[in-house]
Amino acid sequence: MVQSERNASRLHPKIIATELQRATLGMDMSENEVKQHDLSELELLKALEERVFEIMNAAVLNVRMTKMPLYSNFHSYEHLRKIKSKVEAADAANAIAAEIAPYGSCLFMANECYKAFKADLLAEKGPEYAEFARRVEYATESWDQNPKSSREMHCVAMLRLWDHCIVFDPVSCGYAIKVPVGQVTKKLAAEYQFCYAAVNEYNCYLVRYPPNGGEIRNLLAHPILKHNFSYSGPYMSIKGGFEGAVANLAWPTASYIGRLPSRRFVQIQQTWERQPSYPEFSHFALPDGIR
């Protein structure tokens, strides 16, 4: 890693946190608060959070291997472009998800993982797991949740914790990842990273961070950055759940009345006995016992 990249990995999280603090000043962000803990709780908490991560990672692998293993932004587009209104789109959301499986865009895949996260955490014994299940989020980076193009929004399933965020991003990788607070993740399969920025003692926000992956649309002002680098809006829970996501995010970006749609593609996934040698192939290792 060159010196400039090292400096960016240290400085950019602080700059992002400062800008997000300014952008959210005066707004009610209580629903995005992360719980703080006493030092006496930390050892037990760490063990509990490690178990939560194991549960969530297993849920991701189950969804990606069985329920919705193939990424596609074409199949949902093909259904939604024929729908005439947001109300109709919301009513058809679950039927569309069932019809297009095993294919799904980030919006559909993230919802499947969100549901699996909550169900699997609730299946564990103990009220502490129910509390983690309550805090799992189905989220988008579209700050106003009113995108005009599929390039203006992205969806993930996540769990915000006090010192890291557990994220499933169906585009970047096929497993759950941890994003430590105040740090930038290593580049994943996609051409971007994540940053988990603490804006104060109670609020932490996840953003998509593409230092080498081009510009990302962001409705927030950048008084510090100007044009030095870009990052997404902070991921927020999707209003109206899955039906709201289909009506307010997927349907408006699939109607394209009077203009050509953005590129549509299908991502093929296979299980190999060896690691691919071609550098352009994105891949990840499955845990023992999963085929």
DSSP 206-250: EEEE-TTS------S--TTTTTS---PPPPEEPTTHHHHHIIIII
Does some domain include residue 4? no
Report residue 126: phi and psi, to 5°: 115, 135
68 CB burial (10 A radius; 0-12, 13-18, 19+): buried
Q: Give the Cα separation of 236 and 145 in Å (integer).
A: 9
| Average pLDDT over every residue of 267-274 | 65
Q: How far apart are CA 34 and CA 36, in angstroms?
A: 6
CA distance 230 to 8: 12
Q: Is residue 18 part of a domain?
A: no
CB 226 within 8 A of CB 72: no
51-97 per-position pLDDT tens digit: 999 999 999 888 887 888 788 888 888 888 889 999 999 999 999 99
Q: Strand, helix or coil at 291? A: coil
What is the domain range of residue 156?
46-267
* CA pair distance 156, 171, nearest whole angstrom: 9
- Classify residue 247: in a domain, yes or no: yes
Mean pLDDT, all residues of the chain:
80
- In terms of Cα–Cα distance, which of 59, 84, 77, 129 is closest to 266? 77
Is residue 264 within 8 Å of residue 239, measured between CB atoms? no
The identity of residue 252, as a single letter, is P
Q: Is residue 281 part of a domain?
A: no
15: its two tokens: 């700059």
pLDDT average, residue stretch 204-221: 68
Residue 211 lies in a domain: yes
Query: Which pLDDT score is estimated for 248?
Result: 94
Which of 166-170, 228-232, 241-245 comes out lowest in average pLDDT? 228-232
What per-residue confidence (pLDDT) applies to 241? Answer: 96
Tell me whether residue 149 is in a domain: yes
Of 154, 141, 158, whose CA–CA distance to 219 is shortest? Answer: 141
Question: Is residue 96 assigned to a domain?
Answer: yes
| CA distances, 160 to each of 40, 75, 142, 274, 289 (Å) | 21, 31, 18, 34, 29
Residue 122 has pLDDT above 90, yes or no: yes
Determine, yes or no, domain membership for 59: yes
Q: Integer distance in angstroms from the first to the last C-alpha of the chain?
A: 35
Contacts of 18-23 with CB under 8 Å at 24 or more apart are: 18/199, 18/224, 19/220, 19/221, 19/222, 19/223, 19/224, 19/225, 20/197, 20/199, 20/205, 20/207, 20/220, 20/234, 21/199, 21/200, 22/221, 22/223, 23/220, 23/221
Q: What is the pTM of this model?
A: 0.82
Polymer length of the chain? 291
**36 or 117: whose pLDDT is higher?**
117
What is the total count of domains within the chain? Answer: 1
